[in-house]
A and B are shown apart, each in its own frame.
Chain A
């Protein structure tokens, strides 16, 4: 795993594959430090075999996505809460 200098914006496609709502605009609250911000702002580590998104404040892992050929593993244990905008886009 290396920090490629990317952020959560680059996860938009992998998240759109599994969520009905647009998730980079969701607000994630870090289970580690309690700070919150857009998923787009998380610091992204990657790439294969998965993506790891860390809190920009405390660097704790908030979200992990591992893509297998026929399924996706999503680990959200670092997110205390996800606030997801719905309705008008």
Chain B
């Protein structure tokens, strides 16, 4: 991975929707062409700004889903929030060729850097998987040797994003493991009933604390608090647990 520009003057750019694809019934990935995109680190965000003809504007922060591969494209996966004034526009109305204002990349805390050598545990709840997917993709792009484990909690199999790509990466990206946790409905033949993430889940499918893993937890607030507390209870160093909460209200 080339070194991405983390600092530098932050300006609003006009991006154009190049492609879009449905990830689930309520999540859509936007592939955006961004002029003079300086590159980004996995976990970084962009701010997206929509402005109405009367001048009213609304701004939201979204995690970047893609890894930077040196081109001027980024991908965002937007979860439609009922009544969300920005998300519903981006999932339902925004069409290929349309412009949108964005600025970034921003954020330097909830990021994974290629130079980190420790094993990595990624814990995602719902669309909290988005920045974690960027990390998985960035590692794949540089053929990283750091062992990665992703624990991905979703309501049902239909609610999981990136399943095809994750299946391919489990096969092709050596050292990547993925464990799904289904909270409401499991696939047929799944060995356990639907349940929330638990200490046992993190203990069985995460890393032992003595491996000194870097842990990234992203999801709705309650999910993040619970998972982070369980990691600390299991003996993980709180300083190596990075969290990101999103509200899911916009």
Over the window 122-137 of chain B, the binary record of Cβ atoms lying under 8 Å from chain A Cβ atoms (1 yes, 0 no) is: 0000000000000000
Asked if A40 and B244 sit within 8 Å, CB to CB, the answer is yes
Chain A residue at minimal CB-CB distance from B131: A9
Size of the B side of the interface (Cβ < 8 Å), in residues, is 27
Asked if A16 and B249 sit within 8 Å, CB to CB, the answer is no
Asked if A16 and B106 sit within 8 Å, CB to CB, the answer is yes
Instruction: For the complex, give the distance between the alpha carbons of A11 and B7 in Å.
Output: 15
**A49 CB–B CB distance under 8 Å:** no
List of B residues within 8 angstroms of A10 by Cβ: 45, 61, 246
Answer whether A13 and B6 are a contact pair too, CB < 8 Å, given A5-B246, A6-B245, A7-B244: no
**B95 CB–A CB distance under 8 Å:** no
Asked if B249 and A22 sit within 8 Å, CB to CB, the answer is no
List of B residues within 8 angstroms of A12 by Cβ: 44-45, 61, 106-108
Chain A residue at minimal CB-CB distance from B245: A7
Which A residues between 66 and 89 are near B, CB-CB below 8 angstroms?
89
List of B residues within 8 angstroms of A1 by Cβ: none
List of B residues within 8 angstroms of A3 by Cβ: 247
Chain A residue at minimal CB-CB distance from B110: A9
Asked if B221 and A5 sit within 8 Å, CB to CB, the answer is yes
List of A residues within 8 angstroms of B221 by Cβ: 5, 7
Over the window 98-117 of chain B, the binary record of Cβ atoms lying under 8 Å from chain A Cβ atoms (1 yes, 0 no) is: 00000110111110000000
Interface centre among B44, B104, B109 (most CB of A within 10 A): B109
Over the window 49-65 of chain B, the binary record of Cβ atoms lying under 8 Å from chain A Cβ atoms (1 yes, 0 no) is: 00000000001010000
Which B residues between 1 and 51 are near A, CB-CB below 8 angstroms?
6-7, 10, 44-47
Instruction: For the complex, give the distance between the alpha carbons of A24 and B246 in Å.
Output: 15
**B69 CB–A CB distance under 8 Å:** no
Instruction: For the complex, give the distance between the alpha carbons of A12 and B220 in Å.
Output: 18
Chain B residue at minimal CB-CB distance from A38: B109
Over the window 223-250 of chain B, the binary record of Cβ atoms lying under 8 Å from chain A Cβ atoms (1 yes, 0 no) is: 0000000000000000000111111111
Asked if A5 and B7 sit within 8 Å, CB to CB, the answer is no
Instruction: For the complex, give the distance between the alpha carbons of A22 and B249 in Å.
Output: 26
Instruction: For the complex, give the distance between the alpha carbons of A89 and B109 in Å.
Output: 10
Cβ-neighbour of B10 out of A11, A16, A25 (below 8 A): A16
Chain A residue at minimal CB-CB distance from B224: A7
Q: B-contacting residues of A (Cβ < 8 Å)?
A: 2-7, 9-17, 20-22, 24-25, 38-41, 43, 47, 89
25 intermolecular pairs with C-beta atoms under 8 Å apart: A6-B61, A6-B247, A7-B243, A9-B61, A9-B109, A12-B44, A13-B10, A13-B61, A13-B103, A14-B47, A15-B106, A16-B106, A20-B7, A21-B7, A22-B6, A22-B7, A22-B107, A22-B108, A22-B109, A24-B108, A24-B109, A24-B110, A40-B110, A40-B242, A40-B244
Given contacts A12-B61, A22-B108, A40-B109, 6 further A-B contacts (CB under 8 A): A4-B247, A6-B246, A9-B107, A15-B106, A22-B7, A89-B108
